[in-house]
Amino acid sequence: MEADPVLFLFRRDLRLCDNPGFRAACRTGAVVPLFVWEGASDQGSDTAPPQWSMGEAQQWWLHHSLQSLSDSLEDVGLRLTLRSGCVADQIRTIAEDVGASQVFWSHRYDPPGSRADEKLSRELRESGIETRAYGGTLLHDPDGLTTQAGTPYSVFTPFYRRFKDVVDVGPDIGIPESIEVPDAWPRSVDLEELGLLPERNWAKRFPETGTPGASGALARLDEFLEDAIYGYQDERDLMGSDGTSRLSPHLAMGEISPRQVWNAVIREAESSQKGKKQVEPYLRQIVWREFAYHVLANNPSTDHKPLREKYAAFPWADDDAHLRAWQRGRTGYPIVDAAMRQLWATGWMHNRARMIVASFLTKHLRLHWLHGARWFWDTLVDADLANNSLGWQWSAGSGADAQPYFRMFNPMTQGKKFDGDGSYVRRWVPELADLPDRYIHEPWEADNDVLASAGVSLGDTYPAPIVDHAEAREAALAAYAVVKEADG
């Protein structure tokens, strides 16, 4: 007797390789792949939890990733059905059209996604549709690692040691060898009808960040392994070089699995006979991603509330002009402005730069970290709720294994250390390009003749610093004293 068709619902797992849920669906019956776009929803307010619907930059990436996925499915004889609207309604309609009674998908481990999937499962079961969820987006279940006391980890180093001791990554799996095709395909809307591409013309340089889709992810991984993996430890913080993997957008959209990346790095180390120790600095970063999900899953309100409760009393400033200057890369601090302009132009920002601009927002400007988290969420093509929340709370001093609030990045020192020749600043802040190296990170130290010869007029062609570094540090420490006093 021929099995009924089954549905596979793609979300942030837009690949065929190493996709356990897709593989299970292929083994069960003829597969109808689908993607349902629910559209943008309210991003929340300062008093209500943000909904974190996909930001505009990542929607651009999603559009092109779906096209890549559609092409990959056609290569194996399948068609991607695209719909928009209520997911439960669309699944019920498609299931009725094709005679399916099961829908498969990949687990979502972020709390909003988990809650939505629990609700979706209940609604579909009430309609007689069975749901099955599979892993594949992480290397381990966030609930799978605990301290000896049975509690979740809040510090990365012991988490990392435990991870290395107990987690068996295992081999990744390929595309299913046998794929059954249904007798008929449901109606699908055109990709353009989903309205994912930004209306404002700001995405023209996004392709510089990478090529969306699984094939683009594998190509980027190969390039990283060939050119940069063994120099990663020394070059990953140098903002003017290409020393990072740039796989974050692909991982965020599930175009490549962390297991594929992990195993490819191990194979490279073994084939070169350089050993795992040489590539461990990069593997450690993959585990940081796991740690972020571990923290968020076990502390589900940390996407909008401080993990360390005493920071709820922190006296954040309220200054729209400062926030706009930060967002637009007009703070008067060259390394901060370069990073924020890179983000706006390409939808991506170097990781060291992310730490610098986050410290500047939360400590120099004393603006709530949620302002930064929301801006990153809308402008990053690699937006990921767990990593975004962990990173911003780390910078604000309020999260897991966080940088203490009294430790304040000096943007001039950071620029000199990680952009010594000023190439990063010159690329993204071209109005400063002709300044000598010694002034590129602090143009206000140059005399009028040097500024004039470089075509720089502070307050005119380039803004003067919107806050004084020393005064901002004193104000930040005074604010932190309020927290310490409230904590007793």
Instruction: Evaluate if residue 387 carries a pLDDT over 80.
Output: yes
Q: In this structure, are 292 and 332 located in the same domain?
A: no
Degrees to nearest 5, angle at CA 201 with 195 and 202: 105
Task: Report if residue 262 sits inside a domain.
Answer: yes
Task: Report if residue 178 sits inside a domain.
Answer: no
Cβ atoms of 369 and 396 closer than 8 Å: yes
Q: In this structure, are 64 and 98 located in the same domain?
A: yes
Per DSSP, helices labelled H in 189-317 are 214-227, 232-235, 248-252, 258-272, 276-298
CATH of the domain at 234: 1.25.40.80
- What pLDDT sits at residue 263? 97
CATH of the domain at 324: 1.10.579.10
Q: In this structure, are 142 and 130 located in the same domain?
A: no
Domain final position from 256, 271, 298:
298
Which is higher by pLDDT, 67 or 52? 67
User: How many domains, in total, are found in the chain?
Assistant: 3
Whole-Å CA distances, 282 to 178, 235, 240, 349, 449: 35, 12, 19, 18, 45
What's the whole-number mean pLDDT along residues 225-238? 93
Instruction: Evaluate if residue 12 carries a pLDDT over 50.
Output: yes
Q: In this structure, are 335 and 262 located in the same domain?
A: no
Q: Report the amino acid identity of residue 297.
A: A
Q: In this structure, are 128 and 152 located in the same domain?
A: no
Instruction: Evaluate if residue 484 carries a pLDDT over 80.
Output: no
- What pLDDT sits at residue 202? 85
**Which H or E run contains 481?**
helix 469-486
Q: In this structure, are 421 and 326 located in the same domain?
A: yes
Tokens representing residue 3 in the block: 């099995």
Segment 343-386, tens digit of pLDDT: 999 999 999 999 999 999 999 999 999 999 999 999 999 999 99
Task: Report if residue 187 sits inside a domain.
Answer: no
Q: For residues 398 and 310, what is the distance between their CA atoms, to the nearest angstrom?
A: 8
- What pLDDT sits at residue 487? 65
Q: In this structure, are 470 and 429 located in the same domain?
A: yes
Q: In this structure, are 374 and 395 located in the same domain?
A: yes
- What pLDDT sits at residue 1? 44
Domain final position from 298, 323, 356:
298
What's the pTM? 0.95
CATH of the domain at 71: 3.40.50.620
Cβ atoms of 266 and 260 closer than 8 Å: no
- What pLDDT sits at residue 50? 65
Lowest-pLDDT range, 50-54, 56-60, 189-193, 194-198? 50-54
Q: For residues 299 and 312, what is the distance between their CA atoms, to the nearest angstrom?
A: 15
Find residue 458's DSSP bridge partners: 462
Q: In this structure, are 100 and 148 located in the same domain?
A: no
Cβ atoms of 335 and 420 closer than 8 Å: no
Q: In this structure, are 167 and 272 located in the same domain?
A: yes
Closest CA to 460 of 431, 436, 438, 434: 431
The Cβ of residue 139 has, within 10 Å, a number of other Cβ atoms equal to 22
Antiparallel, parallel or unpaired: β 31-37 and 81-84: parallel
Q: Average pLDDT of the chain?
A: 93
Cβ atoms of 394 and 356 closer than 8 Å: no
Q: In this structure, are 161 and 97 located in the same domain?
A: no
Domain final position from 298, 319, 353:
298
- What pLDDT sits at residue 62? 98
Task: Report if residue 182 sits inside a domain.
Answer: no
Q: Which domain does 313 fall in, by range?
A: 309-480
Decide: helix, strand or coil at residue 377: helix
Radius of gyration of the chain (CA): 24
Q: In this structure, are 317 and 465 located in the same domain?
A: yes
Per DSSP, helices labelled H in 29-167 are 56-75, 87-98, 111-126, 156-166
Task: Report if residue 267 sits inside a domain.
Answer: yes
What's the whole-number mean pLDDT along residues 79-107? 97
